[in-house]
């Protein structure tokens, strides 16, 4: 299959060239033509690709290759995309873009609530897909290269230089989108951010996304960082406007 040469070399337990691992994108798609098309456009941009046609294979390759990005279909044999996304988030903060024919808002919100960073509906433009991949990766790299200020609030600590978040000394695994939101809010405690402002940080390319996406990410973030998510003490809702990070530790 053209464009999937990396996958065709997989026999048994292949050796992974670690020099390429940071630029490898995992394509999880059971339709060969779609997978080949996505791989072709990504490889033109200098990425390496590996391909899984089912969910179980996808999780195995994710552990083996530690890809820099995952493009994930939802309707998969053996293990569907919802479960793959959920399992990936148990051991990795790799950016995930869901590529699916399911276009309902419920499916979009569900995908984002499980930890995906973007959602593209089929049929799609391969060029737009590649642009979205590059934009998300650029956003992650920017977080890694910003000034090494450390943000603290009580037991919660965010270290941009290490891209690390801890509470009470225990590491917290955040998705790229959750990390962006937390850093934006912690950088200016007390400042109220509208949902649109937060969306602009998540999608600097101006992608059209419903503002409910912010609520989904904030909800997942609270589950991870708040001592009691039902009564948040870090990220405070400002009704009718958006969110702010608490400006005191009282």
Which is nearest to 188 in space by CA: 115, 242, 116, 117?
242
The strands making up 69-72's β-sheet, listed across from edge to edge, are 48-52, 24-28, 69-72, 96-100, 118-121
Percentage of the chain surpassing pLDDT 90? 54
Residue intervals in the chain for CATH 3.40.50.2300: 5-142
| pLDDT greater than 90 at residue 244 | yes
User: Among 6-10, 34-38, 88-92, which range has the highest average pLDDT?
Assistant: 34-38
H/E run at residue 170: strand 170-171
Q: What is the pLDDT of residues 95-114, one digit of tens each?
A: 999 999 998 888 888 888 88
Rounded-to-integer distance, Cα 35 and Cα 27, Å: 7
Per-residue DSSP letters for 70-120? EEE-SS-SSS-HHHHHHHHHHH----EEEEES---HHHHHHHHHTT-SEEE
Distance CA 6, CA 43 (A): 11
CA distance 244 to 125: 36
Return all residues near 45 (Cβ < 8 A) that are at least 6 apart. 130, 134
pLDDT of 79 > 70? The answer is yes
* Tokens coding 184: 């934006």
CATH superfamily, domain 5-142, is: Response regulator (3.40.50.2300)
**Average pLDDT, stretch 112-119?**
85
The pLDDT of residue 249:
64
**Which of residues 102 and 148 earns the better pLDDT score?**
102
CA distance 4 to 39: 6
Q: What is the pLDDT of residues 198-225, one digit of tens each?
A: 888 887 765 556 667 889 999 999 999 9
Element spanning 166, H or E = strand 164-167
Ranges for all domains in the chain classified under CATH 1.10.10.10? 147-245
SS3 category, 248? coil
Give Rg (Cα) of the chain: 18
pLDDT tens digits, one per residue of 37-73: 999 999 999 999 999 999 999 999 999 988 999 999 9
Selecting from 2.60.120.10, 1.10.10.10, 2.40.33.10, 3.40.50.300, what CATH number does the domain 147-245 have?
1.10.10.10
Q: How high is the pLDDT of residue 97?
A: 95
């Amino acid at each position: 299959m053209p464009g999937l040469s990396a996958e065709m070399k997989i026999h048994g337990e292949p050796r992974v060239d670690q020099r390429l691992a940071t630029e490898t994108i995992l394509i999880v798609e059971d339709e060969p033509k779609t997978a080949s098309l996505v791989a072709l456009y990504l490889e033109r941009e200098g990425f390496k690709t590996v391909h899984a046609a089912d969910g179980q294979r996808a999780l195995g390759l994710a552990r083996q290759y530690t890809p820099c990005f995952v493009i994930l279909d939802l309707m998969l044999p053996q293990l569907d995309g919802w479960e793959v996304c959920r399992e990936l988030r148990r051991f990795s903060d790799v950016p995930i873009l869901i590529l699916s024919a399911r276009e309902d808002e419920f499916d979009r919100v569900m995908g984002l609530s499980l930890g995906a960073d973007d959602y593209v509906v089929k049929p799609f433009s391969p060029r737009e897909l590649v642009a979205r991949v590059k934009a998300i990766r650029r956003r992650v790299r920017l977080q890694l290269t910003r000034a090494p200020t450390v943000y603290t609030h009580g037991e919660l600590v965010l270290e941009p230089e290490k891209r690390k978040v801890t509470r009470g000394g225990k590491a917290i695994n955040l998705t790229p989108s959750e990390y962006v939101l937390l850093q934006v809010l912690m950088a200016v405690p007390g400042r109220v951010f509208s949902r649109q402002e937060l969306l602009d940080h998540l999608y600097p390319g101006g992608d059209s996304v419903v503002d409910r996406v912010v609520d989904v990410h904030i909800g997942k973030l609270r589950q991870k960082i708040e001592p009691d998510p039902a009564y948040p003490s870090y990220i405070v809702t400002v009704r009718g406007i958006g969110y702010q990070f608490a400006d005191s530790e009282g």
